[in-house]
Every structure is written in structure tokens, then in C-alpha cells.
Structure 1
Amino acid sequence: MSLENLWVMAVQVDTASAEERERIARSVEGRVPFHSDWILLSTCHRVELYGFGAMPEVDPRLHVKTDKDTVQHLIRVATGLESAIVGEDEVLHQVRLALRNARATRALDGRLQRLFETAIAAGRRARAGRTASSGNLAQRAVAWLDQRSRLSGHTVLVAGAGRMGSSLAHAARVAGADVTIASRDESRARRLARVYGGRGVDLAGGAELAPKSSAVAVALAGEWRELQPWEGEAPPIADISAPTAIPAAVRARLNKDFLGIDDLNLRVQPLPRAYMAAADRLVSTKTLEYVTWLDGGKRGQPGTRPTSNRLGLASKDPTLGSSRR
């Protein structure tokens, strides 16, 4: 097996907005199931397509890395070295999820499976050696809300009952707030609210409660259409959805009292130098481990499907363009 046909095409927060990244991800998602040798990784701040063989024609803003640089990049992402909050945990979950989704939909190329497994192992090992958590985007969003409006003893409305919504609720409760959960699925909102001793409602109910809350934290998939501008003073809103779930008309009224996912990309905390040094060493070790495995010609991964041409493509995708270098 050869490393020379490995690539990643990536767009990040510094080159495309959350809405633009969502459009790019959607443009690729429909094509991924045709390719055993592609994996799409989509996180809060990045959209990255990994593959072997010919590169597709996608948005020109995607930056291309190849060969060994691709291996290093994915391992850096998994260890949190590329995150706004260095060493945060959510990105490792997203790398795991990308691999899980790929394996669930097709017979995955063993080279890509091994690459992602190597990165995930590096991410786990890097975090096992740290002495304290680096925090996450939800904690930073809630800390920003607390600066805008005192949370302790007051109500925070959390819109979203998924993984990130739960993180927001936990952070708000730790800050001393009373928590109300709103979700498209009211029963799910109630289940999560019980964990924090709060109330669960649907998104329409949440929209009614928002003006009465001290702060609003949001993590939704899709726009919160029930939320409309209201008369009077508006509470600060932190939205870590990608793209933003808050309607434009509401955002326009908030000005500096609105925090979006891209605003959280700025690194404002002191960098964990010890963690970064140890993770950098791990990146080098795991990159060499993967390259050595690949050069050794090991093909034995469950689910590997033989490539159908010399570039390693196992695809019938009619939209595949010429190779980009």
C-alpha cells in the first residue's frame, strides 16, 4: 500500500463562515456513500474530507494536504491541538462519530479505517495524561453568558437536548443557574431537565420563555423558527449551533449580546504548554506508526473492499472530477 494517494480537503472557521461550512458539508454528504475510500469529518469549526485516490472537485476554499501531512493533521485534530480550546473532548467524539457513520453505511477501505483508529487512539492517550480538563465550548459559552448576566440563582434557558445541549445545561447548573430545557422533542427535553431539577418544554414553549430568562444557551440542529423578535430588553444568547440556529431578525436586535460558534474560535485562555508538548510528541509517534503500517503492506482490516483502479477508487460516483494536486 502507498501513502502517496492519501489526502484531506479541509475548510475551517478562518476561511468560511458556519453557514458556508454547512453548505460545503451538504454538497459532499450525498457523494460520500459512493466511496469506500472517503470519510467526512464535520465539527463545529471545520469540514474535512479524507480519502485515497483521485480528489473530487469541491469548493475551492478547501485547503489540501497530502500524504504524511494528512496523517499528522488528523492526529492533531483528534488530540485537540487544532481546537480553539486545546485538548477539548468534543472533537475526539466527533472523530469517533465520523468513523462510526462511515462504517455503518458502507464497506470501508481498511487504510482509512486504520488511519482514524490511529488518530482516535492518539486522542485518548493524549487526554489520559493530562492533570485537568481543558474545558469545552459549552463551558466557554456559559462563562460568556455569566459575564453578560449573572446566572447564579437565575434561570437559563437551554435550547437543545442533545450532547451539546446537555453540556450547556451542565455548565449552567455548575454556574448556579436554574435550568429550563427546550427541544423539538418535548419528552427528551423533560428527561434531560429532570437530571438538573428543571423544566422541559418544546421549542415553541421555549420561545415564549426566552424573553423572561436571564440568559439563553442554544445547541440545535437547524433554525429555531419559533423564536421571533420581541418587545423590550433581550437576554444575552450564546449559540454554539453550527450553523447558527437563531433567526437573523433576532440576532440583529442583540448586537453585542449574541455569541455565535465562530466567535468561540478565538483562543483567549492560557495555552496548556505541557499538554501541547506531550501531544506533539504523540503526533510524531503515531504518524510514524501509521506510515510504517501502511508501507508494510498490511491489508488486513475487516470490511476492506479492494480498490477498483490504480488510484484506489472503489466508486461509481458520476460527479467525481479530475485529480487535484
Structure 2
Amino acid sequence: MHLVLVGLSHHTAPLEVRERIGISRSMVPAALDRLANDGCDDAVLLSTCNRTEVYAVAADPVAMGERIVSCLADYRGVSRDDIDAALYVRTDADAARHLFRVSAGLDSLVVGEPEILGQVKDAYKVASEERGTGSVINRLFHGAFAIGKRVRTDTGLAEGAVSLSYAALTLSRKIFGDLKPRHMVVFGAGEMSRLCALHFHQQVASTTIATRRHDRGEALAAEVHGRVIAWDARLEALADADVLVSATGSPDLVLTDADLARVLAARRGRPMFVVDLAVPRDVDPAIAEREEIFLYNIDDLRGIVQENLARRQDAVAKAERLVNDEVSAWYAWLRSRAAIPTLVALRTRFERVRQAEIERLAPRLSGLGPDARARVDEITRLMIEKLLLTPTEQLKAIDDHDTMDACSSALRRLFALDDEAAAAEADRTEAAREKAR
């Protein structure tokens, strides 16, 4: 059996394509049923805003890949022509390496982001609970969980802010510690303001949006469970603010030093963390001279982000080595499974010969006591184990499918293992008949 991966991601598909093929969590059970009806009954479906991927097990990976692509396209009502260029199909070790890199955060839009490991775990949980998963998928995903955790523990890949908005959040924690009692004000409701508000809103007590675009302000306030105020009321809102993020498109300063002087009179020396993400700047640089103000602009934050990105490159190299080690271990296990039917048949063949010889020699052994007969049985069984140990280890260690197939075929022919399998099946059938009688 082979592992098959079919998918697309932010690396291969634009957002509009990912949206069309994406499958929400509530839709996953139905999608798994659809895949099962098309012959893919041992699969995990991972679908996030950045990727949609199916991991499955099949004897014919090419045919299975085609079935998965057709199933996804039909289920989501999209044309194959619209998604073919964005799709990737990988098998065996390449498919495992991809999943392990995804779980470790190495394939993410922001390298090292921690959310993806939880999404991988959730995808596996849904698949195992809804339809059940086989040994190959189980071993694969538990390996993915292990490498995801190990990379984060051993490399520090997820440490350090690598986006401007997250860098702002990190700095505010250094200044205030716990943000739960803190209040945040955001000037503007554009994309940068939105990203900062989203990063902060679960950390702070409240969020207030001040914007000239009231409709956009209301939409953002709804996302962060905050409130929107008129633009002209922005200075009054700063009287209770601990954090100010400003990212408007104004050509002029929206907070001057004179404005802040009036605000500070009502604050009684309380510190304020001010982040100016606008170009041109929203906030008068002169306010940085005030003792109770901590001002950072977009260049300050970019410097922090670049430093953290450089630090992460060392972590990435170490993480890739850990992933490769895990892939090697998993693939060695998968290869060894290909030898199992032959090895089971070989052991069955030797055991049948052993039992037959003991039966043939039964008259000569009849004079032995129970302990002696048990000793004979044990000695002959151990001889079989020792004789088969080396061929078992050698066959499992073969790392090429063609070579393993050739060796397995040779063993099956030399020891008539296919005849043995037929004989064993006949024995089971006869035993069943006897039991029925």
C-alpha cells in the first residue's frame, strides 16, 4: 500500500481558488463520505484558509490521486481546469515529509505559526471518529503530531514576532505585562488597523475604534467585540487608553504633541504604549520625548521582525533535519509493512513443517515425559525463530520497492508460499465446517 497526498495551498493557488475548493469543518464528514463512496475510504481531509489536502492510502497511487481530484472538484462544484494547475500530488516519503513540515509550521504563510498543528490534530480526529482510520494513516499522523511538538520544543521556531501586528503585541506585553486590565484605542479601520485589533482583542479588556469611515469601523468593532466612536472624539478616548495603534491614510498628523499634552493632563502620569504604523506617520515623533509615552513606528517594528526572521532561519535548518529524521523512520516502517505478508507466510510454512515432523515422530517421542516433550517443542520452535531472524531483518531493511518485490517473489516461489497460503485457507475452511457440525 502507498500513501497518497492530493492538495493545493497558498504556495500554488490564489485566495479565490482556495476559497472555491475549501471545505469548512462542518462539511468535512460529508466530504469524507463522498471520498469513501469513490473508493477512498481511509483518508484524512485537512482544510484551512491556506490549504486543502487529502491524505489517503491506496494500492494504486496514480488512480487514487485522480479519484480524489475528481471527487473534490465535483463536491465543490468547480471545474478541473480551474484547479489542475494549482494541485500537487505526492506519494509515500514525499507525502509524509509534506505533512510533517506542515505540522511543524515550516510550510505556513508565517513560518513557525502554532495554529496549524491544532488544525492537523482536528482533521485527524474528525476522520478517525467519523469513518475510522487504518494503521498507515494512524502511524503517519501520530508521527506528524510528534514532530510538530518536537520542532517547537527543540528549535524555538515559533518564538519571536514575525509580523508587524504581532510585534506590537509582544512589545506591549513587555511594557505592561498582563494586558487583561488594559484598554486599547485604534485610529483607522483599514487592513493594518484590523490586523492589530484582531491580535490584541482577546488580550485586552476593551477595544475602541476611531475612524472617519463609520461603516468600516462598525464592521471592525463587531469582529473584536469593541465599540466604534466618531473621529472627532478620538482624543477623549485616549484619556483611559493604555495602548494606541494608529494606521490611517491621512496625509497629516492625526495626533500632535499639543493634542497629547491635553490628553496627558487627565491621565495623571499613566504610561501609554503608542504604535504608529502609518506611512506617512500619524503621530508626532516629538511625543517620544515625554516620559510616560512609549512610541514605536513602522521602522522600529520592522527591525524587530527582521531580527526575529533571521533568528528563525537557524531554527528552520534544525527543524528540517528533525523532519527528515522522522520521515526516514516512518518510511522505513512503511517499507517493512510491504514484507509482512511474505514473512507471515514464510513463518506459517516453517511452523507447519515443524508441526508435521513432530506429529510424524510422535511414536518415537511417546516414551518421553510431559516436561521432555515440552522441551522438544520449545527447542524446535526456537530453531525456527533463529533460522528466520536474519531473512526477516534483511527483507524489512530493503529500501527499494522493486528489490523488495523481487526478493518477496523469490521467497514465495522457493518455499511455495502461495501454495502454503492456499493450504492454510483450506485448513481454516475445514475447521469452520467441523465447528459447524
Instruction: Indicate whether 1:94 and 2:99 are aligned.
Output: no
- Aligned counterpart in structure 2 of residue 108 of structure 1, from 133, 144, 150: 133
Offset from partner CA, 1:224-252 (integer Å, 9 cap, x none): xxxxxxxxxxx9xxxxxxxxxxxxxxxxx
Shift of 1:179: 3.1
Q: Judging changes above 3 Å, is the alpha-carbon distance between structure 1 residues 142 and 21 closer, same or farther for their aligned structure 2 residues? A: same
TM normalised by structure 2 equals: 0.41
Do the aligned partners of 2:208 and 2:227 also contact (CA within 8 Å) in 1? no
Alpha-carbon distance between aligned partners in 2 of 1:276 and 1:39, rounded to the nearest angstrom: 27
Offset from partner CA, 1:50-91 (integer Å, 9 cap, x none): 112212224312111222110111111111111233222111
Shift of 1:127: 1.1
Q: Judging changes above 3 Å, is the alpha-carbon distance between structure 1 residues 94 and 205 closer, same or farther for their aligned structure 2 residues? A: closer
Alpha-carbon distance between aligned partners in 1 of 2:112 and 2:17, rounded to the nearest angstrom: 26
- Aligned counterpart in structure 2 of residue 14 of structure 1, from 11, 20, 24: 11
Partner of 1:253: none
Instruction: Name the amino acid aligned to 2:316.
Output: M
- Aligned counterpart in structure 2 of residue 283 of structure 1, from 304, 320, 323: 323
**Unmatched runs of 5 consecutive residues or more in structure 2:** 59-63, 74-82, 171-181, 190-194, 210-220, 238-243, 247-253, 255-279, 281-304, 339-437
Partner of 2:185: 155
Instruction: Indicate whether 1:84 and 2:109 are aligned.
Output: yes
Q: Judging changes above 3 Å, is the alpha-carbon distance between structure 1 residues 84 and 31 closer, same or farther for their aligned structure 2 residues? A: closer
Partner of 2:200: 169
Q: Judging changes above 3 Å, is the alpha-carbon distance between structure 1 residues 277 and 145 closer, same or farther for their aligned structure 2 residues? A: closer
Where do residues 1-325 of structure 1 align in structure 2 (5 Å cutoff)? Answer: 2-3=1-2, 6-26=3-23, 29=28, 30-34=30-34, 35=36, 36-53=41-58, 54-55=64-65, 56=68, 57=70, 58=73, 59-60=83-84, 61-131=86-156, 133-135=158-160, 140-143=164-167, 154-156=184-186, 168-169=199-200, 173=204, 179-180=206-207, 208=228, 269-270=309-310, 272-297=312-337
SS of 2:5's partner is strand
**Unmatched runs of 5 consecutive residues or more in structure 1:** 147-151, 159-163, 183-200, 217-234, 236-255, 257-266, 299-325
Shift of 1:46: 1.9
Alpha-carbon distance between aligned partners in 1 of 2:322 and 2:142, rounded to the nearest angstrom: 14
Alpha-carbon distance between aligned partners in 1 of 2:160 and 2:125, rounded to the nearest angstrom: 25
Offset from partner CA, 1:85-105 (integer Å, 9 cap, x none): 322211111111111121221
SS of 1:180's partner is strand
SS of 1:31's partner is helix
Instruction: Name the amino acid aligned to 1:33.
Output: D
Shift of 1:168: 2.0
Partner of 1:303: none
Q: Judging changes above 3 Å, is the alpha-carbon distance between structure 1 residues 23 and 209 closer, same or farther for their aligned structure 2 residues? A: farther
TM normalised by structure 1 equals: 0.54
Percent identity over paired residues: 29
Offset from partner CA, 1:97-137 (integer Å, 9 cap, x none): 11112122121222112211101101111111135743578
Across the two proteins, how many residue pairs are aligned to each other? 220
- Segments ≥4 residues shifted beyond 4 Å: 142-146, 164-167, 170-173, 201-216
Shift of 1:207: 7.4
Shift of 1:144: 7.5
Q: Judging changes above 3 Å, is the alpha-carbon distance between structure 1 residues 288 and 171 closer, same or farther for their aligned structure 2 residues? A: same
Instruction: Name the amino acid aligned to 1:87.
Output: G
Alpha-carbon distance between aligned partners in 2 of 1:39 and 1:202, rounded to the nearest angstrom: 34
Alpha-carbon distance between aligned partners in 2 of 1:136 and 1:43, rounded to the nearest angstrom: 22
Name the one with the larger helix percent: 2
Q: Judging changes above 3 Å, is the alpha-carbon distance between structure 1 residues 135 and 96 closer, same or farther for their aligned structure 2 residues? A: farther
SS of 1:102's partner is helix
Instruction: Name the amino acid aligned to 1:38.
Output: A
Alpha-carbon distance between aligned partners in 2 of 1:118 and 1:204, rounded to the nearest angstrom: 36
Alpha-carbon distance between aligned partners in 1 of 2:156 and 2:44, rounded to the nearest angstrom: 32
Instruction: Name the amino acid aligned to 2:185.
Output: T
Structure 1 stretch displaced more, 84-93 or 118-127: 84-93
Alpha-carbon distance between aligned partners in 2 of 1:141 and 1:102, rounded to the nearest angstrom: 35
